[in-house]
Structure 1
Amino acid sequence: MTLSNEQKKAYRAIGHSLNPIVMIAGNGLSEGVIDELNRALDDHELIKVKLAVGDREVKKAVIAEMIKICSATLVQQIGNTALLLRRNPKANPNLSNLNR
């Protein structure tokens, strides 16, 4: 899914106040991490992910793999933090970061 600049700006504004839900350490993407990413994206739709995997190239590769596996969209990446979006039409309004 491609986002317009206005949509990215709105999602970044929402994401600014969010805390990272998932932390990815040096091991990269294990099956447990992928399961947690999918659960968090289903529940919250817009999440922050903290990466502690190494240099820039490794970080870019992990983010690209994460987006591909989870069918998410990268809204923004700053330093070690990525903001991911995956719309869920059946999201719980009490958990979704987009409906607040």
Structure 2
Amino acid sequence: MALTGKQVRQLRALAHHLNPTVQIGRGGVSDAVVEQAEESLEAHELVKCAVQDGCGLETRDAANTLAELAGAEVVQVIGHRFTIYRESSRKDIEKIKLY
């Protein structure tokens, strides 16, 4: 699912106030990081991630890899942080209504 420009702007605004919940460190985008991201995406749909200094990956590369493995879309990459989005399949959470 490709996001439109309007949807990206909406998600960027929502992500502004989020703190990073997924940390990518020296191990890079490992199975544990992917699992943590998938759990966070199912619970919140929009997740901010941080790439630590010890990681050998560029932030854009880490964002693209994690998004691909988790079945998500990259919303934004700024500095050492990035935001990904995936619609949750859970019925018990309030979903983000995209324009």
TM interval, shorter chain, is 0.7 to 0.9
Aligned counterparts, 1:9-88, within 5 A: 9-52=9-52, 53-54=55-56, 58-88=58-88
Tell me which stretches of 4 or more aligned residues in structure 1 moved more than 3 Å. none
> C-alpha distance in 2, partners of 1:49/1:89?
21
1:30: how far off? 1.8
| Residues 43 and 91 in structure 1, CA contact (< 8 A), matched pair in contact too | no
> C-alpha distance in 2, partners of 1:37/1:86?
10
> C-alpha distance in 2, partners of 1:91/1:65?
27
1:34: how far off? 1.2
> C-alpha distance in 1, partners of 2:58/2:14?
27
- Across the aligned residues of Structure 1 and Structure 2, the Cα RMSD in angstroms comes to 1.8
Match of 1:92 in 2: 92
1:91: how far off? 4.6
Deviations 1:69-100 (A, max 9, x none): 10100010001111100001425326x6x37x
> C-alpha distance in 2, partners of 1:91/1:78?
31
Query: Structure 1 residues 27-36 or 16-25, which shifts more?
Result: 27-36
Query: Structure 1 residues 70-79 or 31-40, which shifts more?
Result: 31-40
Count of equivalent residues: 95
> What is the TM-score normalised by the length of structure 1?
0.83
1:60: how far off? 2.7
